[in-house]
Amino acid sequence: MLSADGPQDNIPEKVRPVPPLGVELGDSDKKELLNGLDLLQQSVKQLRQREDPFTVDLLPDVEIFLRAVKQGINYRELFSARDVKNASKVLAEGQQRADALLKGEAPWTSQKGLVVRGFRSRIDRTVQPYGLVIPDSYSDTGKTRYRLDLWFHGRGERSSESVFIAERMSRVGRFAPQDTIVLHPYGRYSNAFKFAGEVDVLEALEHAQRHYKIDQDRVAVRGFSMGVLGVGKWPCTILICFLRRILGQVFLKRLSFFASSKKKLLYLLNLSESYGGCTTVLGMPTICFNYLWLPIAVSWISKNKRPISWKPRLLSEV
């Protein structure tokens, strides 16, 4: 039998768990969270009994908070005292939304700034969260439609649903362009936005397009570290790559991929046999040819930590 990193990987007791086991909740913290869960569960139960389109459509915006904290407790996916404290805030936000929805109101749908939304997955019918940054200039009235940037997050072994939601409630993120909606997909933890994570991105985008005035001709994809893998699967208007944290350096170690050179790009396409089909599994060779016909905006971090950018060009013209 072949093993990836040595015989020790075949011993279950010695395999490093991912995600790691979270903190053990103290009695007072556990009681507080369980009480909050019970209250929110009762509110959600009442909402699930309603069949009006307004409630059915917005119920996932409430259920994501319930699911996130319940999983955090059941599977020990709260990894620090801060995560435990933030879980209480997540529950409080969920309860506030449930109370509003029971009154037939949904103030978060017109909220600007940081907004967490949820949708029901067509894959397994679970509710999945995503974050939005709504610019102050956004307006529901008028003919203006807004650019949307998808931001694919980097690897985070401790990014459980509760941790992700708390972050999207409190942090704008690396990019917040003017007059632009930024969508932060969760993507089912850290799977490079593949498999169910890839479908979740599509569903999150579709959900946002139903609820916000988005210009479908101005949807861009950005990513960092692991997020570059997600970006690599998406044909887009502008592709942002941080070359210091590109695919080869993060995941394949010895594999180099620089979008600035067509010769090196074609070299990448021929590496699948040398690396045991690894690049084929990641889906890179089959999609890299698309980059030849896309405008590519390349950005990397210099030694003095200043970003350097190039004007978008067609790679086929390089």
The model's pLDDT over 279-308, given as tens digits with 9 standing for 90+, comes to 444 455 555 555 555 555 555 555 555 554
What pLDDT does 251 receive? Answer: 36
| Whether residue 235 has a cis bond before it, omega within 30° of 0 | no
Nearest Cα to Cα of residue 186 among 174, 172, 203? 203
Residue range 129-168, pLDDT digits in tens: 999 999 999 999 999 999 999 999 988 889 999 999 999 9
Residue range 170-215, pLDDT digits in tens: 999 888 999 999 999 999 998 888 888 888 998 999 999 999 999 9
- Reported confidence tier of residue 102, pLDDT bands at 50, 70, 90: very high
Q: Is the pLDDT of residue 263 over 50?
A: no
Residue 216 CA to residue 315 CA, distance in Å, equals 24
Question: Who has greater pLDDT, 129 or 218?
Answer: 129
Question: Who has greater pLDDT, 19 or 280?
Answer: 19
Q: Is the pLDDT of residue 252 over 90?
A: no
Residue 161 CA to residue 155 CA, distance in Å, equals 14
Indicate whether this model's pTM tops 0.95: no
Contacts of 101 (CB under 8 A, 6+ apart): 47, 55, 58, 59, 61, 62
Q: Is the pLDDT of residue 59 over 80?
A: yes
Alpha helices in the chain (DSSP H): 27-48, 53-58, 60-74, 81-102, 161-170, 196-211, 226-232, 247, 262-269, 278-282, 284-288
What pLDDT does 10 receive? Answer: 72
Mean pLDDT computed over every residue of the chain: 79
Question: Who has greater pLDDT, 223 or 36?
Answer: 36
What pLDDT does 273 receive? Answer: 41
DSSP type of residue 273: T
What pLDDT does 257 receive? Answer: 38
What pLDDT does 218 receive? Answer: 87
Q: Is the pLDDT of residue 107 over 60?
A: yes
Q: Is the pLDDT of residue 259 over 50?
A: no
**108-237, CATH topology level:** Rossmann fold (3.40.50)
